[in-house]
Amino acid sequence: MKKNELAGKIAVVTGAAGGMGQIIAKQLAEHGAVIAAIDQNENELVNSTKIWREKGYHVTAFPADISDSAAVEEVISKVESDLGPIEILVNIAGVLRLGTIETLSETDWDISFAVNATGVFHVSRIVSKYMVSRRSGSIVTVSSNASHMPRMAMAAYSASKAAATMFTKCLGLELAQHHIRCNIVSPGSTDTKMLRKLWKDENGAQQTIDGQLEAYRVGIPLGKIGSPSEIADAVLFLVSDHASHITMQDMVVDGGATLGV
């Protein structure tokens, strides 16, 4: 992509204070997009936004909890009035609650769906209403390859991500008549704080690459952990004009870990 290909386009990025969210927001901004950065972690969001603005990027912080529909409606209305018409939405906000089904608490299950699935529903539904009136827009949901493959101790995460994936495809089908594209990027093991929390020791990265037979988990055929920038590249492609005839697709970026399933 050319550096200014997204020049002036208003892009809403949820989970913008998180590791992957920061990278995706930064790369969108580097390509000229005007970023409305949304996250419930207000302190981290404001600090990140300040750094980006000092580098000359057009980024504005909009603290909000995407699991709260009223808060989402209010913040999206503010983005439209303060920045302008939203042309891009990237749903990145997510949580990871681990536990076998026997030990998983109802709270962990509820929170997983409230953010990973219902949050995507809230933001996408409200943003798409504005896009429909203009008959233009692109929505990308960052899901997970765990939505494709059963994972030990990840039932809440996998199920909530699968829900977000199918919701985005259904949304894409309904919005196609309005020339709005909806796609999914499903990362595998990516070098973020969320992944590192799963590692028990300094060998965690290599163990992830090698796979875990006891967890019915194959390794990563390309032999490396993904980087957030590689996920951002996939998002950038899907929101760009290079993907103008692509919708309802799920791009898995996992080094082959799910074997193309």
Maximal CA-CA distance, the chain: 53
Structural contact between residues 93 and 39, judged by C-beta atoms closer than 8 angstroms: yes
Here the tokens at position 90 are 């990237």
Any idea which fold 10-253 has?
Answer: Rossmann fold (3.40.50)
pLDDT at res. 220: 94
Structural contact between residues 80 and 86, judged by C-beta atoms closer than 8 angstroms: yes
Helices (H) and strands (E) counted in the chain, each on its own, are 9, 7
- List, run by run, the mean pLDDT of 10-residue segments along the chain (261 residues): 87 96 96 98 96 95 98 98 98 96 97 98 98 98 97 96 98 98 95 66 75 86 94 98 97 96 86
Phi and psi, residue 139, nearest 5°: -120, 130
Torsion over CA: 30, 35, 38, 44 (sign): positive
Q: Which positions are annotated as active-site residues?
A: 157
How far apart CA 227 and CA 128 sit, in angstroms, is 29
Domain boundaries, the chain: 10-253
